[in-house]
Structure formats: C-alpha cells, structure tokens
Chains A and B, each alone.
Chain A
Amino acid sequence: GESVGLHLPTLSVQEGDNSIINCAYSNSASDYFIWYKQESGKGPQFIIDIRSNMDKRQGQRVTVLLNKTVKHLSLQIAATQPGDSAVYFCAEILNSGYSTLTFGKGTMLLVSP
C-alpha cells in the first residue's frame, strides 16, 4: 500500500505486479515532464519523458500518463521486478527558456520477491 508521512511515500508491491506511481506537479505552465529512478547510492537516472501536447507515452515496461486538467502525472511499471526497487521522482520544467528541472519529493518503490 501507499503511505505518506514525514518520510517518503512508499509503495510496496509483489514481484510481477503492475505498479503505479503518482505525482502532482505544481505549475500549469510546465510543458515537459520527466520520470527519474534513483537507486541507493546513485544519481537519478532518466526513465521516460512526456511533453504537454501528449497524454500518454510508452517505453519498455513503463508508461507515463499526463492529465493536465488536474496537473497529475503517473508512471506505470508493468511486471515489476526486484531491480525496480528505488525512489522515483517526477520532474517538470517550469520555464523551458531557463531550463530548470523542478523535482517532486519522490516515492519509494519496494518490490518483494
């Protein structure tokens, strides 16, 4: 399940399940969004991106959905594997001209074998 508190929200799933990680972004003018994966002791790694003129984009085992009406992004991971365990961040660009990525607080995904 998912819990929110002083610590990162955590999503615990079983191996093979589909995972959905949600993110509320802050600025309706943002026009580019990225999901990053950060494993323990490593820097964030690009997973998938989407522009504001799209509402869905698919990659390998991952799908990003964008709902501009409610400023909501989701990352769907199919057939989740233990190697997917990490913290996932969504990021938005508030002003493409100034090229600043603004990150959300992140969600920890824990995958049990």
Chain B
Amino acid sequence: EAGVTQSPTHLIKTRGQQATLRCSPISGHTSVYWYQQALGLGLQFLLWYDEGEERNRGNFPPRFSGRQFPNYSSELNVNALELEDSALYLCASSLGTVGDAEAFFGQGTRLTVV
C-alpha cells in the first residue's frame, strides 16, 4: 500500500511568487495535516483538513492557505513568498483524529525561496 506522497520533492521560487505543494494521503485516510520544518527547528503546525473542511490552523499568516479535495488529497498554497518561507513542508495523514489514530508522514517538499 502506498504511503503519503508529496509533490514536488523540491521547489525553487523567487521572493514574491506563489508556491503550490500537493499531498496524497494514504488510501482511506480522511485527515491531512501540514507542517513546516525550518532548518534546525522542530515541526510547526500549519493546517489540518478533515472531510474537506479546515479544522484547525497554526500561527501562520493568511498567505499560507490550502484546501482538501473530495478524494482527500490536499494542496498547500503559499502566496507572496518570503525568504524565511524556505523550509521542508511535511504532510501527514491519519484515519481518524490524531490521538485515536496514528499519523503517517510523507517525505516532504523542500521549498527554497531565493
């Protein structure tokens, strides 16, 4: 069975541009989580989607947004990119809410803003 897949693996953008990152959860998983992992730091929670709805949002500006599609895949959009947005963006999926079900992570998208 395929795990959580993210695309692209690497993405290079210039400051001010927009980036779109994609995540396909494990089949049957309805919850998708997005985390930002800046170099040398822990994972910072960005967004949680479940059944197509945004359930929770971390402490990030509105230019970080996303959505979940009917097939439960998800997209993270970052507008007006800034240099400090350079990070590994990780997506995780779970069968239910974390605490009731294990969250499985993808390998991430490395976003570099120049």
Chain A residues in contact with chain B, CB under 8 A? 6-8, 31-32, 36, 41-46, 49, 89, 91, 93, 96-106
**Whole-angstrom CA separation of A83 from B97 in the bound complex:** 30
Nearest residue in A to B4 (C-beta to C-beta)?
Answer: A43
Chain B residues in contact with chain A, CB under 8 A? 4, 31, 33, 35, 40-45, 48, 50, 55-56, 58, 90, 92, 97-99, 102-108
What residues of chain A lie closer than 8 Å to B106, measured between beta carbons? 43
Nearest residue in B to A97 (C-beta to C-beta)?
Answer: B97
- Verify A100–B48 contact, CB threshold 8 A: yes
- Verify A99–B55 contact, CB threshold 8 A: yes
Total residue contacts A-B, CB cutoff 8 A: 63
**Whole-angstrom CA separation of A93 from B41 in the bound complex:** 18
Point out the residue from A46, A102, A104 that lies within 8 Å of B102, measured CB to CB.
A46
- Verify B107–A101 contact, CB threshold 8 A: no
Point out the residue from A45, A49, A99 that lies within 8 Å of B56, measured CB to CB.
A99
- Verify A42–B56 contact, CB threshold 8 A: no
- Verify B40–A6 contact, CB threshold 8 A: yes
- Verify B31–A99 contact, CB threshold 8 A: yes
What residues of chain A lie closer than 8 Å to B44, measured between beta carbons? 103
- Verify A100–B107 contact, CB threshold 8 A: no
